[in-house]
Structure 1
Amino acid sequence: MASILAFAGSNSSTSINYELVKYTVSKIKNIPVRQLNMAHYPFPMYSEDLEREKGFSNSLVELSKDIKKSAGLIISVNEHNGNPSAYFKNLIDWLSRLDRQFMDGKKVLLMSTSPGRAGGEHSLTKIQDTIPRFGAEIVATFSLPSFGRNFSTEDKKITDNGLREEHQEALDRFLKEV
């Protein structure tokens, strides 16, 4: 049976993108999902010197294997100053050094959220342009603007009806492909 790996591009313990991932995973029935909290996956800043001296960490190798074993990925990318976080860019750098096609054949639901009205759109667009180089097939995207206004952390759901429907449609498109 197909399985899904879900995580946020943030290593923050209070990541709103991870909140969006957890909400999305809660909507999936009948497909096994492995949800990763990247706050538990520290990776040093990539450098060729570090790669040559120390190679690849066990946690990086295991993450790469988990990506390869999955049929689909749910990723929610955060945004820092209009760009993907340094953490997520660093993660991509490490994974691509281990295997350039680390996402080969993976169906992806790519999401983002932010406190602002743009909902992390700049980061989403940049990652949408980037990860197909590593074999990913992005089958759906979703951006949640103004997280604090449109998501209830108490009820753990998207509160705006239109955005909730848009999210469900993106998730349904993704699940049809997995």
Structure 2
Amino acid sequence: MKVLALAASNSSQSINKQLVSYAGELLTSKIIPNAEVELIDLNDFEMPLFSADRESASGIPQQAQAFYDKIGRVDAVIISYAEHNGSYTAAFKNLFDWTSRIDAKVYQGKAMIMLATSPGPGGASNVLAAAKGSAPYFGAEVKADLSIASFFDNFDVEKGQLRNAEIQTQLEEALATLK
């Protein structure tokens, strides 16, 4: 099984990148040992802000095609969504908007695990709900989703792992839906 993992954030200090990285390691060490996980960085897909005028003038940026192609080559996608002002980060939304111009079914029928976390009690649940609600329209087969509130209370940053046993079990159960 090939899995694409990413944080929907372009922050170098992204807690969502820490979470999705841990989820990928957990998937290969405990859930599906023969899985191959590729962790990508949103910064590798930076491009101009989407507009119909830019698309008419210059076409679709190569980075959007590269992202679409990466999704096409895997069996599943794990995304951990950061929440900015109750919604997607601008970096993720821009990448998604450009990629949707290639094919509205951005996720190409792939199985998907959706995660989200934040430092506060909301756990980025607003953006997770929006992503989960719209995902089927964009070709995703959402297998599981998990919001983790109060990231720094529940995740040991130094060890790079969850310290909350209940959330650990929930994450393992979510990942096991990819079997």
Query: Which residue does 1:17 correspond to in 2?
Result: 16
1:85 Cα deviation from its structure 2 partner: 1.3
1:77 Cα deviation from its structure 2 partner: 0.6
CA contact (8 A) 1:17 1:77 kept: yes
1:47 Cα deviation from its structure 2 partner: 0.3
Amino acid paired to 1:76: S
Q: d(CA) in 1 for partners of 2:90 and 2:41?
A: 17
Amino acid paired to 2:63: S
1:81 to 85, 90, 98: 85
Give CA-to-partner distance per residue, 1:111-157, whole Å, 9 cap, x none: 00000111111110001112211110100011111011111110000
Runs of 4+ residues deviating >6 angstroms: none
Query: Which residue does 1:145 correspond to in 2?
Result: 149
CA contact (8 A) 2:8 2:80 kept: yes
1:34 Cα deviation from its structure 2 partner: 1.0
CA contact (8 A) 1:11 1:40 kept: no
- Map 1:56-67 onto structure 2 (within 5 A): 56-67=60-71
Q: d(CA) in 2 for partners of 1:94 and 1:110?
A: 21
CA contact (8 A) 2:42 2:92 kept: no
TM-score (norm 2): 0.93
Three-state SS of the structure 2 residue aligned to 1:127 is helix
Q: d(CA) in 1 for partners of 2:47 and 2:81?
A: 17
Structure 2: tracts of 5 or more residues without a match: none
Amino acid paired to 2:124: G
1:96 to 73, 77, 100: 100
Query: Which residue does 2:39 correspond to in 1?
Result: 35
Amino acid paired to 2:159: D
1:52 Cα deviation from its structure 2 partner: 1.0
For the aligned residues, what is the CA RMSD? 1.1
Give CA-to-partner distance per residue, 1:70-109, whole Å, 9 cap, x none: 1100001110111121222222111111111121210000
Structure 1: tracts of 5 or more residues without a match: none
Three-state SS of the structure 1 residue aligned to 2:137 is helix
CA contact (8 A) 2:45 2:95 kept: no
CA contact (8 A) 2:7 2:17 kept: yes
Q: Aligned pairs, how many?
A: 174
TM-score (norm 1): 0.94
Q: d(CA) in 1 for partners of 2:48 and 2:140?
A: 24
Matched, 1:122 2:126: yes
1:110 to 108, 114, 117: 114
Three-state SS of the structure 1 residue aligned to 2:101 is helix
